[in-house]
Amino acid sequence: MNTPTAMVSLAGLGVRYGAVTALRGVDLRVNRGDFIALVGANGSGKTTLLQALHGMVAHTGSRVVSELAAAQVMVFQRPFVLRLSVANNLRLALWLAGVPARERALRAAQALQRAGLVALRDRPARALSGGQQQRLALARAWAIRPALLFLDEPTANLDPSAKREIETLLTGFKADGMTLVMSTHNLGQAKRLATRVVYLERGDIRADLPTADFFAQHGDGRTEQFLRGELKWDIE
């Protein structure tokens, strides 16, 4: 049996914001080919864990990144778009990523096609709907060709049609061989998309299971309560 190849490994990782402990003693491996869904109540540490995996926050413990994960991108819940056209948002992202000039036009065109934004290429990016802006953010990420993509609530506040479009894109990214880690409050989405589910509670990982096992076994009693909607949000 092949041993999974670790892309990012956390050991005993902790993050504090002043007096607040956001993560404590986290051990987690992101393996090549994973699609991990981070679930848990508000304040459980999902976003902080994404940021820690991506190297965005100071922490205790260790974070080890393999060469396979050298190319990483994070897409935020509310993506930042520049006061430029859709196409120029893509071209600028490729320039910032160091993509050679001769490749930028082709990659931008491919990304527009992939995200269904060809007809909107000349529209100001800030005039797009929320779902269209999220597709633009995913197109920018895909154009850079990352090995590892982090997503923070990518379909929050989107209508059902826009959510389906985003989920279709993410399914395609996974099929291409990209490794993904996504925070979500949508348990149906986690069940549809993820290969692993990591459940957090007050900065601790309480379950880390293959998706089918998570929804069958639930890990422990607290996880069961979360799935039934009986846990209060952690917002202390």
d(CA 169, CA 177): 13
Taking residues 102-120, report their average pLDDT. 96
Q: In what order do the strands lie in the sheet with 60-65?
A: 20-31, 6-17, 60-65
Q: Which whole-number Å values give the CA distances from 32 to 62, 67, 76, 179, 214, in the listed order?
A: 19, 11, 22, 6, 20
User: Token match 């993410």: residue?
Assistant: 170
Summarised one tens digit per residue, pLDDT across range 178-236 is 999 999 999 999 999 999 999 999 999 999 999 999 998 655 556 666 665 545 544 32
Per-residue confidence (pLDDT) for residue 221, from 0 to 100: 59
* Backbone dihedral angles phi then psi of residue 168, each to the nearest 5 degrees: -65, -45
Taking residues 32-54, report their average pLDDT. 96
Asked whether residue 111 carries a pLDDT value surpassing 70, the answer given is yes
pLDDT averaged over every residue in the chain = 91
More confident: 78 or 163:
163
Within 10 angstroms of residue 56's Cβ, the number of other Cβ atoms is: 12
- Name the nearest CA neighbour of 115 among 95, 97, 83, 93: 93
Per-residue confidence (pLDDT) for residue 234, from 0 to 100: 42
Is 143 exposed, middle or buried (CB count within 10 Å of its CB: 0-12, 13-18, 19+)?
Answer: buried
Taking residues 155-163, report their average pLDDT. 91
Q: Which whole-number Å values give the CA distances from 35 to 27, 121, 161, 190, in the listed order?
A: 17, 30, 22, 9
Lowest mean pLDDT among 1-5, 38-42, 142-146: 1-5
Contact 108, 94 (CB under 8 A): yes
Domains, the chain: 32-58+67-71+146-236 (3.40.50.300), 81-144 (no CATH)
